[in-house]
């Protein structure tokens, strides 16, 4: 029996200047399958998807949909071919409602040729309800959480009656319950013969939902395997071209000297009575569901958010930072959750970003010592193994893993005593993750106190000395290294723990 191939991309090549992003690449997708596209950051996955979606036009190669050659010269061409793409970056219009975003550019008109808001709201409610998304469709998107916005993106894509859906890191901002809901939706789409290309760096997801995996490396095709016939080690070797040993690197050497102490910290309606301590050389994890208040607690400590009551002590002395600048001067640094929106200025260079938070350290009076600044830039490019052709390259041209290392270097250049890491490996491939874990371990070995906020439980369990679990703004559990496992952490995070 001949396989039912819905998509065939053959000999696809695409260059950007001297960089060959795709090199004679082949890819096939069966009807009604979930097919993972796997590769390190910079492997060409996003470029391939943008070629399929009509954003980029290849120099060579052909695309067949249902056996017919199609020219994807625009986004509209892709939509007409039944292709829906959910990109990693949310592209909704924030000041429009959920309904207005879903029907943007294809509004339903009444017999009087006016926008039929009632009918569009009814259909939007039906679609969101089918996904299990309990929101008011008349709400403006800017008032939704990142996780809710991600799900609205999915609803919008499905609303086009697609036959092929691309999902690029769709779970990066979703809680475990929302991920389960997404997987149920994917099962329903499969039953309707919709084909799904699934891009994720989370290996456990690939084994949970995909039928096959295609691996790319440096813009070329490495191979395709049946998911049930492979394992993580084999896929990692295909991705990086070698066996990756010591994925998690952690030497435990926590000292007794307290660096940070938080007492009864409260921001009304967001978090309350938060208490914890961090010591020299300790990595303290913060776990919990998305929206539990973990990031808000960290933003308050760092001076970016006000708190209503409670105390913060640094090296035994009470502090109350009114701004992040005050926190930085006192030796506190924070790598934010969203590197592109909060951590980097994408239109500027690698060097500019690496020293943006520490410019005061290179000043003599009113003058900036360019020599000192260049010394620091070169130090962190080397120490963090940042792959860039030049310190003047735009940071937007770097892979996700290298962008994350630039953010890390930016804050390390301030010489902090305590480092807050909010989702430090989100959207980062396995090779870069292993490097970042090694860097974090080295910093702890040197005595730095580290707080790691993460939604990835394996990351928490393998990298942290202790963990605080947050639920609805309260710390519901505190576990030492020897007591950590996924089941116990999740029971505290969901309120199901036993006394």
Sign of CA dihedral 428, 431, 435, 441: positive
Task: Return the pLDDT at 48.
Answer: 94
Low-confidence ranges of the chain (pLDDT < 50): 1, 498-499
Asked if residue 117 lies in contact with residue 99, where contact means CB atoms within 8 angstroms, the answer is yes
Residues 204, 209, 211, 212, Cα dihedral to 10°: -40
Superfamily of domain 5-240: P-loop containing nucleotide triphosphate hydrolases (3.40.50.300)
Give percent helix, percent strand, percent coil of the chain, each to the nearest 5.
35, 25, 35
Which token pair is 177?
A: 């319950």
Query: CA–CA separation, 239 vs 409, rounded Å?
Result: 26
Domain edges within the chain: 5-240, 258-494
**Considering the domain 258-494 in this protein, what is its CATH number?**
3.40.50.300
Per-residue pLDDT at 475: 95
Q: Are 238 and 223 in contact (CB under 8 A)?
A: yes
E strands, 338-446, in order: 363-364, 367-368, 418-422
Strands (DSSP E) contained in 44-126 are: 60-65, 68-69, 83-86
Q: Contact, 71 vs 45, CB < 8 A?
A: no
* pLDDT the model gives residue 19: 73
pLDDT of residue 218: 83
**Residue located via tokens 């996904």:** 131
Instruction: Kindly tell me the sign of the dihedral angle through the C-alpha atoms of 177, 178, 179, 184.
Output: positive
Q: From CA 248, how far away is CA 242, in angstroms rounded?
A: 16
Over residues 235-276, the pLDDT tens digits come to 888 887 766 666 788 887 767 899 999 999 999 999 999 999
Please work out, in degrees rounded to the nearest 5, the angle formed at the alpha carbon of residue 112 by the alpha carbons of 110 and 114.
60
User: 337: which DSSP letter?
Assistant: S
How far apart CA 231 and CA 331 sit, in angstroms, is: 43
pTM confidence score: 0.68
Burial 3-23 (b: 16+ CB within 10 A, else e): eeebbbbeebbbeeeeebbbb
What are residue 167's DSSP bridge partners?
86, 198
Residue 30, SS3 per DSSP: strand
The CA-to-CA distance between both ends of the chain, in Å, stands at 58
| pLDDT of 159 | 83
Please tell me the predicted confidence (pLDDT) of residue 499. 41
Q: What are 326-354's pLDDT values in tens digits? A: 999 999 999 988 887 888 888 889 998 99
The predicted structure's pLDDT at residue 476: 94
Backbone angles phi, psi at 213, to 5 degrees: -130, 130
Spatial contact of 272 and 471, defined as CB atoms under 8 Å apart: no
């Amino acid at each position: 029996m001949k396989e039912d191939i819905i998509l065939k991309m053959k000999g696809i090549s695409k260059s950007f200047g001297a960089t060959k992003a795709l090199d004679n690449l082949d890819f096939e997708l069966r009807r009604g399958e979930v097919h993972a596209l796997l590769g390190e950051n910079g492997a060409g996955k996003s470029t391939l998807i943008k070629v399929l979606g009509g954003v980029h036009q290849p120099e060579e190669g052909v695309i067949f949909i249902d056996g017919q050659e199609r020219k994807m010269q625009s986004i509209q061409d892709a939509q007409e071919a039944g292709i829906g793409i959910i990109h990693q970056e949310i592209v909704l219009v924030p000041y429009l409602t959920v309904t207005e975003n879903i029907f943007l550019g294809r509004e339903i008109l009444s017999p009087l040729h006016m926008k039929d808001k009632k009918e569009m709201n009814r259909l939007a409610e039906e679609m969101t309800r089918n996904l299990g998304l309990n929101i008011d469709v008349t709400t403006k998107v800017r008032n939704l959480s990142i996780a809710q916005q991600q799900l609205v993106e999915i609803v919008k894509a499905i609303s086009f009656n697609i036959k092929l859906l691309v999902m690029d890191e769709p779970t990066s901002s979703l809680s475990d319950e929302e991920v389960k809901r997404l997987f149920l939706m994917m099962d329903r789409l499969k039953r309707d013969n919709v084909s799904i290309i699934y891009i994720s760096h989370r290996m456990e997801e690939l084994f949970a939902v995909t039928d096959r995996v295609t691996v790319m490396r440096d813009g070329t095709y490495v191979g395709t395997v049946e998911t049930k016939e492979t394992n993580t080690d084999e896929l990692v070797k295909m991705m990086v071209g070698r066996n990756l040993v010591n994925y998690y690197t952690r030497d435990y050497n926590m000292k007794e000297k307290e660096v940070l102490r938080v007492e009864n910290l409260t921001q009304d309606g967001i978090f309350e009575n938060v208490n914890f301590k961090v010591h020299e050389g300790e990595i303290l994890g913060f776990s919990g569901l998305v929206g539990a208040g973990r990031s808000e607690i960290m933003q308050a400590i760092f001076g970016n958010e006000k708190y209503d009551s409670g105390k913060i002590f640094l090296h035994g002395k009470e502090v109350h930072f009114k701004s992040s600048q005050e926190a930085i001067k006192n030796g506190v640094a924070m790598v934010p959750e969203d590197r592109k929106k909060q951590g980097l200025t994408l239109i500027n260079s690698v060097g500019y970003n690496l020293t943006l938070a520490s410019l005061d350290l290179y000043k003599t009076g009113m003058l900036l010592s360019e020599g000192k600044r260049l010394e620091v830039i070169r130090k962190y490019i080397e120490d963090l193994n940042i792959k860039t052709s030049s310190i003047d390259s735009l940071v937007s041209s770097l892979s996700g893993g290298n962008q994350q290392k630039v953010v890390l270097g930016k804050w390390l250049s301030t010489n902090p005593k305590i480092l807050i890491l909010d989702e430090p490996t989100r959207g980062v491939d396995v090779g870069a993750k292993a490097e970042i874990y090694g860097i974090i371990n080295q910093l702890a070995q040197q005595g730095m106190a580290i707080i790691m906020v993460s939604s990835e439980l394996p990351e928490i369990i393998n990298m942290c000395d202790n963990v605080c679990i947050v639920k609805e703004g309260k710390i519901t559990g505190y576990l030492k290294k020897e007591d950590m496992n996924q089941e116990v952490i999740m029971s505290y995070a969901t309120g199901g723990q036993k006394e």
